Each structure stands twice: as C-alpha cells, then as structure tokens.
Structure 1
Amino acid sequence: MGETITLKSRHDGFELSAYHVKPTDARRGGLLLIQEIFGVTDHIRELADGFAQDGYEVIAPAFYDRLEPGFEADYSPDAIQKGVRYSTATPWDQVAGDAQAAIDALQPPVFVVGYCWGGAAAWLVACRGEGVAAASAFYGRRISELVDEIPKAPTILHFGKTDASIPMEKVDEIREKHPDLPVYLYDAGHGFNSDRRADYHADSARLARLRTLALFSRSGGGKGEV
C-alpha cells in the first residue's frame, strides 16, 4: 500500500529510509509513526496502513538504518536482544533529528505515535520536536530517562497494568512529574497493541487506538485538512 522514501536527518545529515503511505480518503493530517525495537516490520507497516485509512499521511522512519539498513526482527530471544542492543546504541539526540526529518516532510498538522522503544521516542519528540500537534505514546519503558522533559504538545500515555518491564513505580513517577498529563492503564501487559505478541489484548488495543484518534481529532486533525 505504501512506498519507501528517504529522509535526511536533522541530526547529522544521514539519509535513512522510511515507509510512507498516503491517506485513502480526505486527509486529516500527517503522522510520524515510531517503531518498536524490532524495526520497521510488517506489523509497523500494517499500523501505518491502518492510520492511512483513517485519513493520515504516515511516515515510519527506519531509525536503525545506521546500524543495519532494512533491519526487521522477529520475536525470538536472539532477535529481541539484537533489537535491545540497537535501541541502546541509538542516542536520543539522533532520534530527535531523524524524527524531525519526518515531521518536516509532512504537511501540518503533524501527529506522533510510538510503540515500545517508539513510545519513549514519541515522548521525546513531543518534548523536543518542532511542529508537533499531539502525541500518543504506547508503553514507553524508557520515558523514565526523559521524565524531566516537558511535552510541548498535548500528549497521552498508555501502559499495561501487568507489564513486567515497566513497574508501576515508573508510571507513578511520570504522574508525579506531570500531574496534568493523561496516563491510561489497561488490563494488559507489554506490547498489548501488537497481535504478533503474546501480550496482545484486543480490547485494550482498540481502546488505546480510539483514544489516540480522539486526541488527534481534538488537536487539529479534522476531516479534509491539507
């Protein structure tokens, strides 16, 4: 449904690839979609296609292209470990510059959504990005590294109550630092939005997506926006 495009990072001028898909109906805005640790996989492309059906022009950059162009991992233990290594080897300043290239390539309003590692990256972009209308971050474990930063755009967070990788103490810390920020908890574990993962929870995924779309609509994503 989409195509591969090239973005030039604001961080260092590096050219990284990205999955790009245009809306199938009247345009509501642009959307930066940020990957899990597994790269721009078929799951990420399907999510992008789904948002395009909702009226968003989506760009999903391949943030690990400097380390391994075209990286797509499965859910095996070895692949997970590789994805974790790549995520920790990708500095936040670099992520911000790569993300800004995608934002710059989209006509406003531009929204952000991210999952897993991408959830923390979506938080980062909401805090540092230029031209972000709103952001939705799913189970971003590493938000705790960036918790002192302040989103410049309306932002919502989604966490699973039984997520073993994100203790509720970390979620409480975010709430204490940002008491006015909507933080939604679901009866699910980590990765509940992905039907490829053992913790997939359809009802939670549906509700989180509805909340995300509602936020975008309230923040300028009206039908027919150009």
Structure 2
Amino acid sequence: MGERFKLTASDGFVFGAYRARPEGKVRGGVVLIQEVWGLNNWIRSVADRWARHGYLTIAPSLFDRVEPGFESENYGPDHFARVGELMKTFSMDKAVLDVEAAIKSASEGGKVGITGYCFGGRVTWIAASRLPGLAAASGYYGGGVPNYIDLAPRVPIEMHFGDKDQGIPLEQVEQLKARHPEADIHVYHADHGFCNSDRPEKFDEAACTRASARSLEFFHKHLG
C-alpha cells in the first residue's frame, strides 16, 4: 500500500519519508512520527493502517539529518547506545522543519492530524504547540514530554501513557494533566511501547486496541 519518497524542508534539506494512500475516499491527512528505530517495519505498518481508515499518511524519516536512511528492527539494549550517539547531533529545531514539510504533504488529503510513538509522541506534542497546518494531535508515551510542559498545544490534543512505564512516572503524567486540563490524557495498565506489536515483551493488545480506537475516533471528530 505504501511507498518511499522524498520531501524537501523549508531550508532546502531533502529527506526520506513513507507515504500510504487510501484506496477509497480520503477522510484527511495524518503525519505519523517514528520511534527511535526510524521508518522500520512496524511504523510502516501503522502508516498502512491509517491509510486503510481513509487517511493519506506521511511518515517522515526524522533521523535523516543525522544518518540518512537510518532504521532498525533491533529492539535490544545495544541499540540504545547507537541511538544515544545519533541524538548527540540531533536537532529538534531542524526536525520541526521536516515535520512541517510532512504536514504540507499530508494536507493533500484535507485536514491534518499528527500522531507518534515514544520519540514520536514527544515530537507530536511539540508540533501541536509550534506548527501551523494541524487540526488535531494524538501522541503515545512521549518520552520527555514533561520537559516541554510549558508548551501550549494550539489544537485539540490527546496523549496516551502506560502506568507501568518507568521512563515516564505517573507523577509526571499528573503534572501534565494539571498544567494542561484542555488535553485529553489517558492512562492504561501497560508498559512503555505498549502499541508496538513487534516487541512482544512490551506489546499490550488490549491497551493498544483501546488507545488506537480513541485516536481514530479523535481524528474522525477533528479531521473527518
């Protein structure tokens, strides 16, 4: 269903992306932000799923400025050291330019929503607060979101967290709720990464099914 293609950011940088087009009527556009493993098999499958629901889906490769084409199916602990090296030269300000280009591309489908997982959940929160062209946002277990607690989302937003996530303590989630009562913040009895079906040690089908249904309903309401 999907295809790889190139996008160009406003500063002229050319980077990779994955696009999944609906086969029937287009309801809107979705920008899907990767985990730290890049545009790997699971993220592409999520893009295809959004397309099956009628959304033109664009998943930008946000590590291309650091290592073009980076993606991994390795969910082992050794991968985190690799990601740590990549993040040393990663610039969120530059990544926002790439997300902006993805939003423009997805707008071919109509109103645009943004969603993402882990690293992508953080980017979802930032984009919803800083970028034009969005109509809604639905982020998943965004590591580091509390560091951006003072950013105010400009569009309707919901966030999904797991109560067993040691990297995002419930105390931080409660602080986010208190600071942003306008946001719909949902907590599930699950660990970090509970929607990644390629990680059986983290995947929680029940929690992911509930969260995914909420995201779909949220985008139906705000995008079409």
Superposed pair shares fold, TM > 0.5: yes
* Rounded Cα–Cα distance in structure 1 between residues aligned with 2:40 and 2:46: 10
CA contact (8 A) 1:35 1:115 kept: yes
Give matches, 1:176-187, under 5 Å.
176-187=178-189
Kindly indicate whether residue 26 of structure 2 is the aligned counterpart of residue 24 of structure 1: no
Residue 224 of structure 1 is matched in structure 2 by: none
Shift of 1:194: 0.4
Residue 221 of structure 2 is matched in structure 1 by: 218
* Rounded Cα–Cα distance in structure 2 between residues aligned with 1:88 and 1:205: 31
CA contact (8 A) 1:37 1:84 kept: no
Residue 41 of structure 1 is matched in structure 2 by: 40
Shift of 1:90: 2.0
Residue 201 of structure 1 is matched in structure 2 by: 204
Q: Which amino acid aligns with 2:210?
A: L
Q: Which runs of 5+ in 1 are unaligned?
A: 222-226
Q: TM-score when scaled to structure 1?
A: 0.94
Shift of 1:192: 0.1
* Rounded Cα–Cα distance in structure 2 between residues aligned with 1:179 and 1:15: 38
Task: Give the total of aligned pairs.
Answer: 220
Shift of 1:67: 1.6
Shift of 1:176: 1.5
Q: Which amino acid aligns with 2:190?
A: A
SS of equivalent residue, structure 1 residue 132: coil
Give matches, 1:71-220, under 5 Å.
71-73=70-72, 74-87=74-87, 89-106=89-106, 107=108, 108-197=110-199, 198-220=201-223
* Rounded Cα–Cα distance in structure 2 between residues aligned with 1:20 and 1:87: 25
Identity within the alignment, %? 38
CA contact (8 A) 2:194 2:203 kept: yes
RMSD over aligned Cα atoms: 1.2
Are the structure 2 counterparts of residues 213 and 87 from structure 1 closer, same or farther at C-alpha, using a change threshold of 3 Å? farther
191-200 or 71-80, larger mean C-alpha shift: 71-80
Q: TM-score when scaled to structure 2?
A: 0.95
SS of equivalent residue, structure 1 residue 100: helix
Q: Which runs of 5+ in 2 are unaligned?
A: none
Shift of 1:7: 0.9
* Rounded Cα–Cα distance in structure 1 between residues aligned with 2:115 and 2:217: 13
